[in-house]
Amino acid sequence: MFRPPGAPARTIRRPRASRPRGRRRAAAAAAGVVALSLGATACAGAGAVGGGDGEQIVVAIVSNPQMQDAISLQDEFRAEHPGIDVQFVSLPENEARAKITASVATGGGEFDVVMISNYETPMWAENGWIENLQPYAEETEGYDPDDFVPSVRDALSVDGDLYSVPFYGESSFLAYREDVFAEAGLEMPDRPTWDDVQELAAELEDPAQDFSGICLRGLAGWGEVMAPLSTVMNTFGGQWFDEGWNARLDSPEVKEAVQTYVDTVREHGQPGAATSGFGDCLTRFAQGNAAMWYDATSMVSSIEDPASSTVAGKTGYVPAPVEKTDAAGWLYSWSLAIPSTSEHKDAAWDFVSWMTDKDYIQLVGEKLSWERVPPGSRLSTYEIPEYAEVSEAYADATLTAMGEATQEDTMLQPVPYPGIQFVGIPEFQDLGTRVGQQISAAVAGQKTVDEALEQSQRYAETVAETYRNEQDAASDPEPGGPR
C-alpha cells in the first residue's frame, strides 16, 4: 500500500472470533447455485496473476477497469507483504457470479477472497458462508470503517457488522454530452423524465455517423440489462412482487416501463443493443458515439480519464430519469469478502484491507491518475484536493444519487424484499437471468414486450409460490394446524 515517506506500517492484530450466523434459507440458496457449473475455476482460472513462494491466496474478481488497475498495482502490495502470493481469477461479470456463488455455497474452498456485492452479502452472512469482517476492520490500525459511505456500509452489514467491505460504491445517473447539447441548442433538465430522454435522443441521434441518441444495456443477465431496467420499472410504479408475494411482472406499470425502455433503445440506441453490456456502452460513450448514457455512477472513472476517453471534460451528469417517483437511482457496491472456508484468513484480510483502505485511493491517484480512483466507497475520497478537482463535474451528482437510493425514494409501492435493482432473495440470480434473457430478446426484436413479460411472469410465479407458502405458514397459529 502507499504510505508517505517515514510513515509507520499499520499494525494488524488477530481479530476476535466472529459469532456464528444463522443459516436462513441456506438449503434453498445452495440448491439454486449448485446447478451452476464450477467448470475449471480453481487456481488456474482466467486471469491468474502472481509471483513468489509465500503463502498463497486466491482472489476471485470481476473483470472491470478498476480491478485491472488493482492487478497492475500488485508490486505495491508485494513490497509491503512479501510473504503473501496473490493469484487472481479474473472473469466477466456473469461468469464470475456463477462460479463464485457455486464455490462459496458448496464450501468448495477454491477462493480466499471473493468479489461480491450488497446483493449477496446479507444472505451469505446469514448462511455463515463469509467471515464477519467488523473485528478485522476495527482492529486494523488506521483502517477507519466509519469512513465508508453510510448507505454502502449499511448495505454490506448485518446487525451492524460488516461482512464485506466496499472496493467501490455506485448509484446510477444519466451522463450526457454537454458539447453536443450546446451545439444543438438543447438543455438537459435538472431532473429528466423518460419522455425527456426519448425526445432528446430522437433529436440528437445521427445513425449515418454511427452516433446514437442514447446507449442502454440490452445484454441478458440480472447484473446487465436488469440492473437499469429494474430502476425504470420502479419509477413507473412497478414491482417484481407485491407484499403478498404475488408476481407482478405482467402488471400495467411494468409493461409500460419495459416498453418505454425497449422502444428507447431500439429506436434511438446503439446498433446491436441486445448484446451491449456495461463495458460496451462505456466504450461507445467514451469514444464519442452516443449523446447520452444511463448507467452506473462508477462510469466516471473511465469517462473522465483523458488517457482513454475522448469525452473527458465534455460530459455532464444528472439524476436517473424518473416517471412517477422523486428519484430512480440504484445502490450497488462491488465489495470484497472472505469465505469461511479460507485457510488463509489473516493473509486474505491483509489483501482486502490493502485494496479498500484510504491509502489505496491515494496510490491509484498518484500512480495511475485521479480520474481512475474507485468512487463511492469512502467519504474521505471526496476531500482529497486532487480528486475534488477532477471530480468537480460528478462528485455531488454521485453522492446525491447514492443518498437518494432508497426504496422510499425510488419505489411507489411497498415490497417484501430488500434491493432496488435486484430482489434480495437467493433465487434471484436465476430468476433475474431468465427474465433478462426475455428482455434481451425483446430488445433484439425476436419477441414482443408482452410475450417477454408473459414468460417472465411464469418464471416469477414459480419463485413466488415458495414465499407465499412460507408467509402462510408463518401466519398459522400452530404449524400444520387449521387457519
Q: Are 303 and 282 in contact (CB under 8 A)?
A: yes
Q: Are 231 and 322 in contact (CB under 8 A)?
A: no
Q: Are 236 and 256 in contact (CB under 8 A)?
A: yes
Confidence (pTM): 0.81
Confidence of residue 20 (pLDDT cuts 50, 70, 90): very low
pLDDT at 86 over 50: yes
**Tens digits of residue pLDDT in 290-336:** 999 999 998 998 899 898 899 999 999 999 999 999 999 999 999 99
> Half-sphere exposure (CA, 13 Å, Cβ side) for 31?
5
Q: Are 452 and 257 in contact (CB under 8 A)?
A: no
Find the largest Cα–Cα distance for the chain.
73
pLDDT at 237 over 70: yes
**Tens digits of residue pLDDT in 408-421:** 999 999 999 999 99
When pLDDT is averaged across residues 86-98 and rounded to a whole number, the result is 87
Residue 53 confidence (pLDDT): 60
Residue 472 confidence (pLDDT): 79
When pLDDT is averaged across residues 398-414 and rounded to a whole number, the result is 94
State the DSSP string of 411-464. -SS--SS--SSS--STTHHHHHHHHHHHHHHHHTTSS-HHHHHHHHHHHHHHHH
When pLDDT is averaged across residues 147-175 and rounded to a whole number, the result is 96
Instruction: Report the share of the chain in percent with pLDDT over 90.
Output: 80
Confidence of residue 476 (pLDDT cuts 50, 70, 90): low
Confidence of residue 21 (pLDDT cuts 50, 70, 90): very low
Residue 377 confidence (pLDDT): 95
**Tens digits of residue pLDDT in 378-388:** 999 999 999 99
Residue 34 confidence (pLDDT): 38
> Half-sphere exposure (CA, 13 Å, Cβ side) for 151?
22
Residue 13 confidence (pLDDT): 33
Residue 477 confidence (pLDDT): 58
Using DSSP's 3-state secondary structure scheme, residue 83 falls into: coil
- 33-40: long-range pairs with CB below 8 Å, 24+: 33/98, 33/101, 33/102, 33/105, 33/106, 33/426, 33/429, 34/102, 34/105, 34/106, 36/98, 36/99, 36/101, 36/102, 37/98, 37/102, 38/99, 38/102, 38/103, 38/108, 38/110, 39/99
Provide the 8-state DSSP code for 371: G
The DSSP element (H or E) to which 336 belongs, if any, is strand 332-337
Q: Are 79 and 298 in contact (CB under 8 A)?
A: no
Residue 478 confidence (pLDDT): 57
Residues in the chain: 483
Q: Are 395 and 388 in contact (CB under 8 A)?
A: yes
Confidence of residue 259 (pLDDT cuts 50, 70, 90): very high
